Structure 1
Amino acid sequence: MIDIHNHTPLCKHATGNPEEYVKKAIEKNIKIYGFADHASMEFDEQYRMSFSDMPKYEKEIKSLKEKYKDKIKILLGYEVDFTPYVDKRVLERNVDYLIGSVHFLDNWGFDNPEFIKEWHNRDVDDIYEEYFSKIQDLAKSRLFDIVGHLDLVKVFGFKPKKNIKDIAKNAIKEIKKAGMAVEINTAGLRKPVKEIYPSTKLLEMIRDEGIDITFSSDAHKPEDVGYKINEVIKMAKNLGFSEAVYFENRKKQKIKLT
């Protein structure tokens, strides 16, 4: 099992300590476990680590990697918000992978419950179009290895009238061109939408384009580690996926789904 997108208390909205996450992963028989905490940037600083925390974060994860090397493979990454505030101090870190995510449309944190009222002030189709245009730009940037929670925009259950496949097709084609992987992220099952990211419809497009997949629980507390990943691996196999990937030193590694 793979679970490569997980957080630590350094992001200021997760609980538990990193070793508790690792122990839970071992308990759940996860073989490849990755930390990808919210990367530093000079924006939305209350929901991410500070730049001064990055060495501490990396040192702690590398220490856990060594301590538990006989029980589990631990990987080090960052989840990076694709905004004008992306900082080269993050992009230049010596890590296994970078997950690129879109949480903001301009300065609106559309997935933050604090700002949910804004959904009622805009056309939902327009929001989706803008969101997937940002995903397309994220892929064009060639800065990242993995696309995080591809259809996060659905988090509160607002759905477009337009066909999602039409809205997302250009973004998915750009992801293919970039050679990126897409995570199947189970966190959506814990959110109001009660769905994995991305949806089955989008996974069908990803399969048809031959885009690589990986898996994550996006845990913000130890209890969420590995959340329903066994079920989504089975679902992925039923959809026709036979392999998954992870990254070491920014290099893609493939494994068979068994």
Structure 2
Amino acid sequence: MIVDLHNHTPLCNHAEGKIDEYILEAVKAGTKVFGFADHAPMDFDPKYRMSFEEMSCYEADVLDAKKRYKDQIKILLGYEVDYLEGHMDKRVLNADVDYLIGSVHFIDEWGFDNPEFIGQYEHEDIDEIWKKYFLAIEKMAKTKLFDIVGHLDLIKVFKFMPNKDIVEIAKNALLAIKEADMTLEINVAGYRKPIGEAYPSKELLQAAFKLGIPITFCSDAHKPEQVNLYNDQVIKLARDVGYNECAYYENRERKFLKF
């Protein structure tokens, strides 16, 4: 990937490897811009994220790597922030970073993408779950607090698909993303999950393209060996839809590279 903006570190408590190992994999792959966007702290679900006390260490480590590798690759600093009403913190939202990824991992505080809680699906109406999920994405976009939308259709992770048209379900969320001038990531983590495809699906990406929503790429790597996996598939996906440039951010300002 020429740009790869969503990658993790062991500080999130569910990733492996050293920062340098991720960067060296990106350099080997020919990546021009590589970003760390580890799970930001919040007062909910602490098991799967860094603590507030670890923010300074995380930021210092990434900025140190940025200096050390400046002649080989551009390193960027970000956070993946969970949009969960009542649990977002100004220490994260006002952090001095290059970008913030806004993601939805919870529906009514249910971690729907966590295998630990997959049993909850048995008690839910799948169409209603999808509606609630994309309503949360819509609300997240309308805050205008974030630069990038994380894994747009993460709700499909375990292959519980709705009966209703997905583009119709996501329509208002996509309109809110466009209105907020956010970038949509094409995230390869879905290839490593039961759904077996990127986030978002081709049909949602086509809808985003029609609205003029820009894209970026990401490995969403939780291990160094996951960096740049499925590069060929996502580049082809983006080009087939009509995209030929991808975004990245420096100091919250969007820039583009052709691919």
Residues 23-52 of structure 1: CA deviation (Å, up to 9, x unaligned)? 111111111100000000010001000000
Residues 54-110 of structure 1: CA deviation (Å, up to 9, x unaligned)? 000000000000000010000000000001201001011100000000000111000
**Partner Cα separation in structure 2 for residue 139 and residue 231 of structure 1:** 27
Contact 1:244–1:254 (Cα < 8 Å) also in 2: yes
Which residue in the other structure is 1:47 paired with? 48
- Once the two structures are superposed, the pairs formed by residues 13-92 of structure 1 within 5 Å of their partners are 13-84=14-85, 85-92=87-94
Contact 1:216–1:229 (Cα < 8 Å) also in 2: no
Which residue in the other structure is 2:112 paired with? 110
Contact 1:109–1:115 (Cα < 8 Å) also in 2: yes
Which residue in the other structure is 2:170 paired with? 168
**Partner Cα separation in structure 1 for residue 141 and residue 109 of structure 2:** 20
**Partner Cα separation in structure 1 for residue 258 and residue 183 of structure 2:** 15
1:230 CA displacement: 3.0
**Partner Cα separation in structure 1 for residue 149 and residue 237 of structure 2:** 19
1:244 CA displacement: 0.8
**Partner Cα separation in structure 2 for residue 185 and residue 76 of structure 1:** 18
- Once the two structures are superposed, the pairs formed by residues 4-19 of structure 1 within 5 Å of their partners are 4-19=5-20
**Partner Cα separation in structure 2 for residue 202 and residue 57 of structure 1:** 33
**Partner Cα separation in structure 2 for residue 187 and residue 125 of structure 1:** 23
**Partner Cα separation in structure 1 for residue 240 and residue 130 of structure 2:** 28
1:238 CA displacement: 1.7
Local SS of the residue matching 1:254: strand
Contact 2:101–2:150 (Cα < 8 Å) also in 1: yes
Cα RMSD (Å)? 0.6
Which residue in the other structure is 1:152 paired with? 154
> What is the count of residue pairs matched by the alignment?
257
**Partner Cα separation in structure 2 for residue 173 and residue 209 of structure 1:** 8
Percent identity, aligned pairs only?
Answer: 56
User: Are 1:101 and 2:92 an aligned pair?
Assistant: no
Give the ranges of 4+ consecutive aligned residues of structure 1 lying more than 3 Å apart after TM superposition. Answer: none
**Partner Cα separation in structure 2 for residue 77 and residue 156 of structure 1:** 27
1:239 CA displacement: 1.2
Contact 1:78–1:99 (Cα < 8 Å) also in 2: yes
Residues 144-182 of structure 1: CA deviation (Å, up to 9, x unaligned)? 000000000000010000000110000001100000000
Q: What's the TM-score once normalised by structure 1's chain length?
A: 0.99
Q: Which ranges of structure 1 fall in alignment gaps of 5 or more residues?
A: none
Contact 2:181–2:213 (Cα < 8 Å) also in 1: yes
1:234 CA displacement: 2.3
Contact 1:97–1:249 (Cα < 8 Å) also in 2: yes
